[in-house]
Amino acid sequence: MVAGTAASRLPAELEMLVERVVAALQQEAVRYTAIGAAPKIEPSALQFVRVIDPGNQLPGYEGIWRNTRHDRCGSLTINSDNSFFAEYDLFCQHPRDPRWFVEMVTAWGDDESLRCEAKLIPCV
């Protein structure tokens, strides 16, 4: 995807997709953080920009989450065919296995399917 127009509001027909993706990310974040330590991943915190897919020249959207320091901490890209990829940074020790560090949670799919997983890094 290539950056396109200035910041824009997401079309209403994509809002349900965003809610579904964010709920999956939130659920995965809760699984991979200590009790009560999961960040609150909110659809309303996404700042969307309309982008153009260079492969087919059709519009898509890229949303960015930022933390309180205004650092990028996550993203959600929705392609022109409603396929998507999302990631949200956690940067924490695995809550049940000290051999692992949790870098982020990711979600990907389309209108019909959604998959989600945590990206783990071995602790050294």
Residues 77-92: tens digit of each pLDDT? 999 999 999 999 999 9
Confidence of residue 53 (pLDDT cuts 50, 70, 90): confident
pLDDT given at position 13: 86
DSSP letter string, 19-43: HHHHHHHHHHHHHTS-TT------G
Confidence of residue 8 (pLDDT cuts 50, 70, 90): low
Computed over every residue of the chain, the mean pLDDT equals: 91
Given a cut of 70, whether residue 97 has pLDDT beyond it is yes
Element (H, E) at 73: strand 72-78
Give yes or no for a contact between 84 and 17, defined as CB atoms under 8 angstroms apart.
Answer: yes
Tokens representing 115 are 């998959």
Residues 9-44: tens digit of each pLDDT? 788 889 999 999 999 999 999 999 999 999 999 999
Q: What are the residues facing 89 on neighbouring strands?
A: 104
- Looking at the chain, the whole-number percentage of residues with pLDDT higher than 90 is 85
